[in-house]
C-alpha cells in the first residue's frame, strides 16, 4: 500500500486539441500501455469516443399535463458527464432558443444539478398541446440520441 508516494505521471497531448482532458480508470488500461509513448492517450481517447457514440438522453417525465399559468420542471439527464449543458430543444420540429415563449408553453433551462443532470422548466401559457424534443447539441453526444416530451396545457 502506498501512502503519499507518486507512482507515475502521465502526460499526453493532441496536436489539434487544446484543453482536452481525458481520464480513465487505471484498471481498464493494459499494463503495457504505460511503456509505449502515446498508447495510453490513444486507449483513453478511444474509450471516451465509445461512450460518446453510445450516449443517451433521458427525462424523468415524458408526458406532462399542466394547468395554464402553472410551472413544472423535468429532470433531463445524459450519460456523457459534462455534456448535459449542450442540448438543443425543438418545439413541434422547430429549434427554439435556450429561453423560449411559444404559443402554448414557455421553456427555460435551470442550473445544472450535476455533471449529468439539468432541469428543464416549462410553464403553461394557454391550453393546447406541444411536443418538445431534446437532442445533444453541436457534436457533444450521440447525434441519434433524442427524447420527446408531450406537454398538454389545460385551462384553469
Alpha helices, DSSP H only, in the chain?
Answer: 39-53
Residues 44 and 67 in one domain: no
Residues 61 and 128 in one domain: yes
Residues 64 and 118 in one domain: yes
Residues 31 and 98 in one domain: no
pLDDT grade, residue 84 (50/70/90)? very low
Residues 81 and 150 in one domain: yes
Burial bucket for residue 48 (CB in 10 Å: 0-12, 13-18, 19+): middle
Query: Bigger pLDDT: 147 or 82?
Result: 147
- Among 36, 53, 70, the domain-final residue is 53
Residues 145 and 99 in one domain: yes
Tens of pLDDT, residue by residue over 7-29, are: 555 555 555 455 555 555 656 66
Residue 73 is predicted with a pLDDT of 94
Amino acid at each position: 500500500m502506498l501512502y503519499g508516494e507518486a507512482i507515475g505521471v502521465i502526460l499526453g497531448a493532441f496536436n489539434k486539441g487544446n484543453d482536452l482532458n481525458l481520464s480513465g480508470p487505471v484498471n481498464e488500461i493494459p499494463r503495457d500501455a504505460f511503456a509505449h509513448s502515446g498508447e495510453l492517450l490513444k486507449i483513453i481517447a478511444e474509450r471516451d469516443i465509445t461512450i460518446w457514440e453510445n450516449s443517451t438522453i433521458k427525462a424523468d417525465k415524458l408526458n406532462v399535463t399542466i394547468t395554464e399559468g402553472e410551472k413544472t420542471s423535468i429532470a433531463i439527464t445524459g450519460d456523457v458527464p459534462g455534456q448535459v449543458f449542450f442540448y438543443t430543444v425543438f418545439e413541434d420540429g422547430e429549434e427554439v432558443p435556450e429561453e423560449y415563449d411559444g404559443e402554448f408553453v414557455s421553456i427555460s433551462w435551470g442550473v445544472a444539478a450535476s455533471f449529468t443532470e439539468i432541469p428543464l422548466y416549462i410553464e403553461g401559457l394557454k391550453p393546447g398541446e406541444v411536443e418538445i424534443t431534446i437532442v445533444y447539441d453541436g457534436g457533444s453526444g450521440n447525434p441519434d440520441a433524442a427524447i420527446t416530451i408531450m406537454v398538454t396545457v389545460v385551462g384553469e
